[in-house]
Homo-oligomer: A and B are copies of this chain.
Amino acid sequence: MNFCSDNVTGVAPEIMAALAAANAGAAMGYGNDDITRRVEKLVSDLFETETAVFPVATGTAANALALSVMAPSYGAIYCHELAHINVDECGAPELFTGGAKLIDLPGANGKLDAALLLDELAKGTQGNVHNAQPAAVSLTQATECGTVYKADEICEISELAHKHKLRVHMDGTRFANAVTGLGCSPAEISWRAGVDVLSLGGTKNGAMAAEAIIFFDRALSASFGYHRKRGGHLFSKMRFVSAQLEALLKDGLWLKHAAHSNEMARRLADGIARLPGIRILNPVEANLFYVRMPEVALAGLEADGFKFYREGGPETIRIVTAFNTDPAHVDAFIASASRHAAAARSSAA
């Protein structure tokens, strides 16, 4: 009963089957194979526009490599202070960009605040040789708080960015959860909302290790292949990364997975929201949320065998559900929380 992360799960059976199917005969390496070709076509179809698509195997690579062609070494990249690229990648964006500077901004519920971004862009650093040069904005969709940007929120930021000649990157580790949560098309919250490059997650959505960097601005991808190769992220047996993406993206498996994990988060949150002493800290719009509850309740849950990360403040934990979260585990969590929360109140009274 592990709610630590959507990466503690295994791999969906459809994806295991796709890997087995891909393992037939020889295929040229490094992406010169049929499956990779099909994924490229599939992505363009799904997003209703021509794209350039590059499979990689980790989210950190997907983000940092995308940024490597969006900001020069002397560039500045604006992001939320909780963004994965800012906090959880041990400096990968700095490595792959050759030293670009991340400028992190606060913002409620894990979302970039357009007004604060405008303040930064109004500082007059553009063209000033002493300052890192504004180059890109990176949004996380769904956010690290489990909230989701609506299309017009993305538009507001991307218009601001483009007006100042910045590129717009989206860390879409949980992009499927956002699409499902909003009930929109992939295009609506990506290129139609001004996103230039999307790092589309697969690993946390049931794949083994597969992400896709999708360029809506294809000119930006001209040198991408070199960056991917010298980063050690060009797989020789690429077909096995591509096969995972194909299995996810065709026939809607990615959205089915996301719908399930979103539903499980919703169910868990709803089940504990009104318990005494418990507070859900963010709107639950995707498959993760933060919740505060008394220490004794947290300890009780842990004693009952539930796993989660304590983070986000005192008596606060992060709950993440996944494509294969068992509803029975969710219900067991609710029951355990109910019991411990009640006990906590009694002892406090």
- Most chain B C-beta atoms within 10 Å of own C-beta, residue among A23, A27, A230: A230
Partner of A23, one of B10, B75, B100, B232: B10
* Residues in chain B near residue A226, CB distance under 8 A: 72, 74, 90, 129, 133
Contact indicator B230/A92 (Cβ below 8 Å): yes
Contact indicator B72/A232 (Cβ below 8 Å): no
Q: Does A318 lie at the interface of the complex (its beta carbon under 8 Å from any beta carbon of B)?
A: no
Cα distance A185–B204 in the bound complex, in angstroms: 40
Task: Give the shortest distance, in Å, between A262 (CB) and chain B (any CB).
Answer: 19
Chain A binding surface, main DSSP class? loop
Kindly specify which of A233-241, A247-255, A334-342 makes contact with the partner chain. A233-241
Q: Which residue of B has the minimal Cβ distance to A224?
A: B129
A91/B65 contact (C-beta < 8 A), A8-B28, A229-B130, A240-B208 known? no
Q: Which residue of B has the minimal Cβ distance to A233?
A: B232
Task: Give the shortest distance, in Å, between A290 (CB) and chain B (any CB).
Answer: 16
* Residues in chain B near residue A130, CB distance under 8 A: 30, 87-90, 229
Q: Does A264 lie at the interface of the complex (its beta carbon under 8 Å from any beta carbon of B)?
A: no
Partner of A90, one of B2, B23, B94, B229: B229
Partner of A229, one of B24, B129, B234: B129
Q: Which residue of B has the minimal Cβ distance to A86?
A: B101
* Residues in chain B near residue A16, CB distance under 8 A: 19-20, 23
Q: Does A225 lie at the interface of the complex (its beta carbon under 8 Å from any beta carbon of B)?
A: yes
Q: Does A227 lie at the interface of the complex (its beta carbon under 8 Å from any beta carbon of B)?
A: yes
Beyond A73-B91, A129-B234, A209-B236: 5 further Cβ-contacts under 8 Å?
A4-B29, A58-B236, A74-B226, A95-B231, A231-B232
Q: Which residue of B has the minimal Cβ distance to A87?
A: B131
Q: Which residue of B has the minimal Cβ distance to A324?
A: B26
* Residues in chain B near residue A129, CB distance under 8 A: 30, 90, 225-226, 228-229, 234
In A29-67, the 8 Å CB interface with B consists of 29-30, 56-62, 64-65
Contact indicator A232/B7 (Cβ below 8 Å): no
Cα distance A20–B95 in the bound complex, in angstroms: 34
A233/B58 contact (C-beta < 8 A), A10-B26, A91-B101, A101-B94 known? yes
In A83-126, the 8 Å CB interface with B consists of 87-92, 94-96, 98-102
* Residues in chain B near residue A91, CB distance under 8 A: 73-75, 99-101, 132, 230
